[in-house]
Structure 1
Amino acid sequence: MNKIAVIYYSGTGNTEAMANALIEGVKSSGGTAVIIQAGIFSADMLDSYDGFAFGCPAMGSEGLEDEVFEPMFEGLLPHLSGRKLVLFGSYGWGDGQWMEDWKQTALDAGAQLLASPVIALDSPDEEALSASRELGVALCS
């Protein structure tokens, strides 16, 4: 069975809605999903899971949330090589560049991205929620 850690930050609930849809995808594939707050997740927890879903909205000038999520993720970078993961999040302006930058950072760290990241403009519509469910399925494949 796949044990998936879903680690996300959500200021408005948009990224949280995507995380919940992703969890549905994990469960529909027979996996187990555990939600862990970004502020408490650390590298010493990585070996307890088979895959990881990281979710963070765009903040400021299209960057990761910088008080909780970004410091946590930066601490994981030296330990992500070969790890299976997916990325997701919402944004309210710009063109989604934060996700392209984040994706490249994960790839540069050696992470194995199992699917294209999913982004939603503002509140996720059914298309974004469906794509989020598919991320959960991809983590269990």
Structure 2
Amino acid sequence: MKAAVIYASTTGNTETMARAINDVLKETGNEVVYGTATEADKALVTGCDVLLLGSPAMGAETLEDSMEDFYSAIEGSIKGRKVGLFGSYDWGDGQWLRDWEDRIKNAGATSAAEPLMVHLTPEDSDIEKCKEWAKSTVK
């Protein structure tokens, strides 16, 4: 399966999650397009079977700016695709991921898995959750 793991990170927490997701997908034989929202090739990403997108919660639980820009640019091209969402947060209750999941569904995509969120810095148990989550998205 061909998967895209695209993320934005401000403190490194979401990047740590993305690396764990990328690593396990590669280890399990998937072809992976991996990178940041500012550098990702939109056409290459939307050509993948599964899109795994990550962003930290910002401000009043919104997407990080570069991910908002990236996602807005591909939103019209994800109909029929499986999309999984992940990210880290410091406050709130995950509203930014629920809002984002609504957006992917409204764009005609299906959820590859329940959104995955980690509070602050991912611990070893969180990294294991990232790996299991990643495996579930490509079944």
Shift of 1:82: 0.7
Look up the match of 1:57: 56
Greater CA drift, 46-55 or 112-121: 46-55
Q: What displacement does 1:38 show?
A: 0.5
Query: Which consecutive residues of structure 1, in runs of 5 or more, have no partner in the other structure?
Result: none
The offset of 1:39, in angstroms, is: 1.3
The answer to whether structure 1 residue 135 and structure 2 residue 127 are counterparts is no
What secondary structure does 1:119 align onto?
Answer: strand
For 1:20 and 1:47, locate their aligned partners in 2 and report how far apart those are by CA, in whole Å: 20
List structure 1 runs of 4+ shifted beyond 3 angstroms.
none
8 A Cα contact 1:9 1:57, kept in partner? yes
**Partner in structure 2 of residue 115 of structure 1:** 113
Q: Name the structure 2 match of 1:75.
A: 73
Give the Å deviation of 1:47: 4.8
Residue 10 of structure 1 corresponds to which residue in structure 2? 9
TM-score by length of 1: 0.89
TM-score relative to the length of structure 2: 0.90
**Secondary structure of the corresponding residue to residue 129 of structure 2:** helix
What SS does structure 2 have at the residue aligned with 1:133?
helix
For 2:64 and 2:36, the matched residues in 1 are separated by: 13
CA distance in 2, matches of 1:127, 1:116: 18
Aligned to 2:36: 37
The answer to whether the 8 A contact 1:5-1:34 is kept is yes
Partner of 1:87: 85
Aligned to 1:19: 18
**Pair 1:28 & 2:27 matched:** yes
Q: Which amino acid aligns with 1:10?
A: S
Counterpart CA distance in 1 for 2:45 and 2:6 is: 11
Matched to 2:88, the amino acid is S
Using CA pairs below 8 Å that are at least 6 residues apart, which structure has the higher relative contact order?
1
- CA separation of 1:5 and 1:118: change in aligned 2, threshold 3 A: same
The one-character-per-residue Cα deviations of 1:14-61 (angstroms, maximum 9, x if unpaired) are: 001111111132123211222122013354224542221100000011
Tell me the distance in 2 between the aligned counterparts of 1:11 and 1:47: 24
From 100, 103, 107, the counterpart of 2:101? 103
| 5+ residue gaps, structure 2 | none
- 2-side partners of 1:28 and 1:94: how far apart? 33
